[in-house]
Amino acid sequence: MCIGMAPPTKTPWPHPLIAREGWGHLFFALVLALAVTGFAGWLWALPFWAFVLFVLQFFRDPARCAPVGDKLVLAPADGRIVAVEKTEDPWLKREALKISVFMNVFNVHSNRSPVDGEVLGQWYNPGKFINADLDKASTENERNALHIRATNGADVTCVQVAGLIARRILCYVEPGDRLQPGQRYGFIRFGSRVDVYLPTDARPRVALGDKTRAGETVLAELA
């Protein structure tokens, strides 16, 4: 447990240092690197061992401790802030404050709940795979949205968006489930973004270009 932080959330899956989504990829990379080493030697195998290291760093999944506060909105992903703006929430059909986090291939790709609350709705839309750093990715790319009713009554929409290379959005919750702040709920492979839509009276605590840590960085405060 972290001093001054909320207790770790319990999840229905193991939480090792390497995300379970990467076990198959890591196994394949190791077998390939060992095979090339055995048949061709270390020199030829170096690129394959570099790939093993890439897989290890991509699927790392360090434990996080969420700061305490029922009005805090936490970062759902590691990455860089690429949008802080008022716009329409296309899922709840309302004006909202949108904060977007872009993940490159070197960021941790586990997604975590931004608030403590109940999942009321879920929508999945197939789409394109354009660069997730571009704003139009929010409306044109493959995406999975969750409507979360926070414990203080605020409606929060959290949207996983696929990117240029990302081809798989994984979400492990559905309507009726409860989420604690910072709880791991999904994963996106490889390079993508997460959009968070908040009530317009929410106060941003980040700016464009800021770096975030999922489940730890405070994006905004609810009114």
Task: Tell me which residues are annotated as active site.
Answer: 192
- Distance separating alpha carbons of residues 91 and 93, to the nearest angstrom: 6
What is the residue-wise DSSP string for 208-222? TT-EE-TTTSEEEE-
Calpha distance 91→110 (Å, rounded): 23
Instruction: Report the SS3 class of residue 161.
Output: strand
β-bridge mates for residue 87, sequence order: 96
Which residues make Cβ contacts (< 8 Å) with residue 164, sequence separation at least 6?
A: 129, 130, 131, 132, 191
Please name the residues in contact with 204: beta carbons below 8 A apart, sequence gap of 6 or more. 84, 97, 99, 219, 220
Helix (H, G, I), strand (E, B) or coil at 47: helix
What the block records as the tokens of 107 is 């960021």
Two tokens, residue 157: 């929409």
Tokens (6 digits) for 220 = 């905004």
Amino acid at 221: E
